[in-house]
Chains A and B, each alone.
Chain A
């Protein structure tokens, strides 16, 4: 019996790549609520996840002027046991001060709606927003 091919990705990850265009934030919300529903989150938690994803997309779009024009942004939904991890990233050219604004209303909302939130600029110049919601 041959050894299975080692996967470099999690087979339950769902990736969405979106253009930096406000018209498609609703597509991110729909995807988020569909995934959360399938995972068994209750209705209130689904609404929280939907709103948090929308705010995270909006946060990136508002900072797009620091980004390279051709790139969009990516959302990875990782379906983990008893929790959903959502990772958004976008290539940027700005400095930390301009890109990380903890006083922004959207960030404060995500902090209230989700169980965990981290955001930073990676060494690769990517702006990352990572958030998590536990089931139950």
Chain B
């Protein structure tokens, strides 16, 4: 591996909090993933009686007082990521970077539904609940007065937010950053993906020959990043090292990926270049892997384009087979999958991958977890608007 450019500060992952349909915390979620448990089930939290598809990855967490469910999940994941750490030092050097897709939408949905039914409904919540509300709430919890960003790049939002946090720490601007995403199921996204015929009525099957679409999910992932030296000085447990990110646009179609994965491959190649990693060092790709017919084939082609012959020995996995597609939070879920894989040297499985699609001709880790050496990982998140982000992570080996 070539060294990081002179002047760039190395960035450590020192905390990770997860709230998912598989568990209320990181280790319960991770053990369930490795055991091949399924976080998808019959949809119960939303009433959509006329929709054909009724499967989702739901989190049994209620909203707190003066708090949306989205904020409640984000705050719970933050508390776990901090693991008792009380941030000290200059609050202007603590940043919060969040990716969002729909947070705030349930308030607008409730308002509109009430008005259409002729019921009065206060407008205040709909006016003041938007994705920034979650970012602001996390910043208040942290006492952060540093940079704050709410990225709305649809399904690549939270991975780009992680990239931004890395960028700021690597440039020496921050001592601590929290990055991630939180998302709740809502009517608009469920009905919207259904209208596009992108939702599978059964449990989704990424990379399978008979894949028929995605399932939606919800949850939150928050990741704590800090300068590596600072993390070592305070004796923090280092879960992985963030090496860099790449981003690109397809300029091809509003919703469909480039069929040859051209833009996605450029994002991955850029992430590798920024990270100073060679394709042969990448052992894991935590894929976007939505299980839509268009995505998975294009993504596998993109991995081949970016990694070349090294693609033949890389392990690919899709956590969406376990949580569903958590939209704005999906990139952070993918990153969590890679971080824990790097920590434990194990690849979580892609569930229900009984018969791989010949178009997806990579090792997509079917059915069961696999112990293997993982030196570096790429995390992919792609989105409407032809938006591609790839994040490079490396195993922390103590030096």
Tell me whether A and B are bound partners. Answer: no
Report which A residues bind B (CB closer than 8 A): none
